[in-house]
Amino acid sequence: MALSEIPADRHREVAGLFTERVRGARDWDAPAPVPGWAARDVVRHLVEWFPSFLSAGAGIDLARGPSADVDPVAAWQIHADAVQALLEDPETPDRKLTNPHLGSLPLDTAIDQFYTSDIFMHTWDLSRATGQDDRLDPDFCAQLLAGMEPMEEVIRNSGQYGPRVEVPTDADAQTKMLGFIGRDPFWKA
Whether the per-residue pLDDT at 152 is higher than 70: the answer is yes
Helices (H), 29-172: 39-58, 72-88, 107-110, 117-129, 138-148, 152-158
Q: Enumerate the H helices of 25-71 as residue ranges.
A: 39-58
pLDDT tens-digit map of 51-99: 999 999 999 999 999 999 999 999 999 999 999 999 999 999 999 999 8
> What is residue 87's predicted lDDT score, i.e. its pLDDT?
98
Whether 1 is in a domain gets the answer: no
> Are 30 and 117 contained in the same domain?
yes
Of the residues 119, 136, 153, the one at which a domain ends: 136
Same domain, 128 and 164: no
pLDDT-based confidence at residue 159 (cuts at 50, 70, 90) = confident
Burial 69-91 (b: 16+ CB within 10 A, else e): eebbbebbbbbbebbeebbeeee
Is residue 13 predicted with pLDDT exceeding 90?
A: yes
Task: Please report the pLDDT score of residue 156 as a whole number.
Answer: 84
Same structural domain, 130 and 159: no
* Cα–Cα distance for residue pair 79/181, rounded to 1 Å: 24
Of residues 6 and 1, more confidently modeled: 6
Same-domain pairing of 61 and 153: no
Q: How far apart are CA 182 and CA 159, in angstroms?
A: 11
Mean pLDDT of 142-164: 90
Question: Do 20 and 112 belong to one domain?
Answer: yes
pLDDT at 158 over 70: yes
**Percent of the chain scoring above 70 in pLDDT:** 99
CA angle 111, 33, 8 (to 5 degrees): 20
CA separation for the pair 158, 29 (Å, rounded): 28
CATH number, position 62: 1.20.120.450
- Within a domain: 186: yes
The pLDDT of residue 1 is: 59
Mean pLDDT across the chain, nearest whole number?
95
CA-CA distance, 82 to 76, in Å (whole number)?
Answer: 10
Whether residue 130 is found in the same domain as residue 59: yes
Same domain, yes or no: 112 and 24: yes
Q: How many Å is the maximal CA-CA distance in the chain?
A: 45
Report how many domains make up the chain. 2
Both 25 and 78 in one domain: the answer is yes
Residue 40 lies in a domain: yes
Instruction: Give the model confidence (pLDDT) of 17-52 as tens digits.
Output: 999 999 999 999 999 999 999 999 999 999 999 999
Closest to 57 (Cα-Cα) out of 101, 97, 93: 97
Neighbouring residues of 57: CB distance < 8 A, sequence distance ≥ 6: 97, 98, 99, 110
12 or 162: which leads in pLDDT: 12
Do the domain assignments include residue 2? no
Q: Which of 4-13, 15-24, 50-59, 99-108 has the lowest mean pLDDT?
A: 99-108
Nearest to 164 by CA among 174, 154, 152, 173: 152
pTM for the structure as a whole:
0.95
Domain that holds residue 156: 137-189
